[in-house]
Amino acid sequence: MATAKPPQPFLSRTWDYITETQIWRSIFRHGMPANNRNRVLVVMSNVFLHLHPVKIRKSGIRLKFTWCMGGLTFFLFLVETFTGLLLMFYYRPTVAYAYMDIIDLAEQVPLGIMREIHRWGAHAMVITVWLHMFRVFMTGSYKPPREFNWNVGVILLVLTLLLSFTGYLLPWDQLAIWAITVGSNMARATPVLGHEGPGSQLLALGDVKMVHAGSDARFALLGGRFVGEGALLRFYVLHCVGIPLVAGILMAVHFWRVRKDGGISGPL
């Protein structure tokens, strides 16, 4: 007499059924990562996880070592991309609409905390990227062979600040335009290229100045002599497309280099 199999609980029967279907098996090519073979497979066959190696030094994943700051920065970048996309549904970058669209966003859109998350996420990202740099410095992780990746990092740091700076203008309120005015006024004083910068007088044809308020570095930044329609459009395009694109590509390079330089640094 064959012993009857004990009845399986409902959940585990359902689970077995689902994981046997052709749909499931077409997506996940291997079982749960509970044994070493599957642990290798899950990291190698998943496009997101394959950013990681399969095995890693213990010291490299200790929170006290990395503070997870690079990871958090990347995570915040993703949060900003997602919430920013939602905000783009409601926001039109013109002087006539921009401010009202932001007001509407707060008053009309149900459960709207996207703008809040986007703004606080941006502040947080600036802080985490500083702290990440701080950590990398303190562990000496910029030393060979990681010099180049440190440099990629510095550019990412600048891009993070520029992302935040261009976004600051978009609500088109007093806070926004005056912060950008103060910030962009600096460009006026760029040596040689700003019309109030030292050396700008040198660029002149006879009496005709080549660097003036309508042609200097600040003008190029703002697309006008003051923070107006041109600046709003420029900042919008840079904020939503230009800088994220470059930053995204550089992040890919950054992660690739972390791997190629031997993973998270550790004593030799």
Partner 1 sequence: MGALNTLKDVVNFLTNPPIFITLMAVTFFLLIGRRAFWRPRIGLVVGVVAAIFVALSTLDPNFRLIVGKPDNIPIVAMLFLVGFFLFISMSQAYNNDERIARGEPPIEGSPKEAEKTWVWPDLVYTEMLCMVIGIIILVIWGIVFKAPIEEPANPSRTPNPSKAPWYFLGLQEMLVYFDPWLAGVVLPSLIIVGLMAIPYLDTNPKGNGYFTFRERRVEITLFLFGFVILWVLLVMLGTFLRGPNWNFFGPYEYWDLHKLLALNNVNLSEYVWVKMLHANISGMNMFVRELPGILLVLFYVGVLPGLLAHSRREVKLPGGARVNIGLRKYYEKMGPWRYSVFVMLVLAMFSLPIKMVLRWLFNLKYIIAMPEIFFNI
Site residue total, partner 1 (CB under 8 A): 100
Q: Which of residues 14-43 bind partner 1 (CB under 8 A)?
A: 33, 36, 39, 42-43
Rounded Cα–Cα distance for residues 31 and 157 (Å): 40
Number of residues that bind ligand HEM (CB under 6 A): 27
Beta bridge pairs of residue 205? 208
Residue 5 has which token pair? 């199999």
Residue span binding partner 1 (CB under 8 A) among the ranges 4-12, 152-160, 236-244, 245-253? 152-160
Return the residue of 8, 21, 108, 151 that touches partner 1, per CB under 8 A: 151
Q: Considering only residues 100 through 159, tell me which ones interact with ligand HEM, judged by CB under 6 A.
A: 129, 132-133, 136, 139, 141-142, 146, 149-150, 153-154, 156-157
Distance CA 236, CA 44 (A): 38
Q: Is the dihedral of CA 113, 156, 231, 233 positive or negative?
A: negative
In terms of Cα–Cα distance, which of 66, 65, 68, 39 is closest to 54? Answer: 39
Spatial separation of the C-alpha atoms in residues 193 and 189, rounded to whole Å? 8
Query: Minimum distance from CB of 242 to partner 1 (Å)?
Result: 18
Say how far apart CA 66 and CA 89 lie, in whole Å: 36
Question: Mapping DSSP to helix (H, G, I), strand (E, B) and coil, where does residue 208 land?
Answer: strand
Show contacts of 197-200: CB within 8 Å, 24+ apart: none
Give 8 or 147: the residue with its C-beta nearer to partner 1: 147
Q: Select from partner 1, ligand HEM, none the partner in contact with residue 70, using the beta carbon and a kind-dependent cut-off of 5 to 8 Å.
A: ligand HEM
Q: In this chain, which of 139, 213, 215, 233 binds partner 1, going by CB under 8 A?
A: 139
113 binds, among partner 1, ligand HEM, none (CB under 5 to 8 A by kind): partner 1
Check residue 177 for interaction with ligand HEM (CB under 6 A): no
Judged by CB under 6 A, the stretch of 21-29, 66-74, 82-90, 100-108 that binds ligand HEM is 66-74
